[in-house]
Amino acid sequence: WATAPALDWFGIGLMAFTVVFGTFGAYWLFLGGTQRCGAMRATMLGTGDPVTATITGVLFAGAVFTPTDL
């Protein structure tokens, strides 16, 4: 990340595709899962998101987790 990549029309299109379909796709899947398992169960499962994100970040992305992050 020493230099920013050139942002031509192709790059802007890819970025827009990622933002639009990544956001709407994830939200659409979330709503579908909520509809399948019910609002109460989806809420209870949703409370595990921060823990899952932390574990995934540490194991696969090389994030450093210290006691002050608690």
Q: Using one digit for the tens of pLDDT, what is the confidence trace for 32-52?
A: 988 999 989 988 988 998 899
Q: In terms of residue numbers, what domain contains 53?
A: 10-69
Averaged confidence pLDDT in the chain: 88
Q: Would you place residue 1 in the very low, low, confident or very high pLDDT band (cuts 50, 70, 90)?
A: low
Domain count, the chain: 1
The band of 59, judged by pLDDT with boundaries at 50, 70 and 90, is very high
Whole-prediction pTM value?
A: 0.53
**Considering the domain boundaries, does residue 28 fall inside one?**
yes
The single-letter DSSP state of residue 48 is: T
State the CB neighbour count (10 A cutoff) for residue 42: 15
Domain-embedded: residue 25? yes
The answer as to whether 41 is a domain residue is yes
Distance (Å, whole) CA 39 – CA 4: 43
- Does some domain include residue 2? no
**pLDDT at residue 7 above 90?**
no
Residue 33, domain member (yes or no): yes
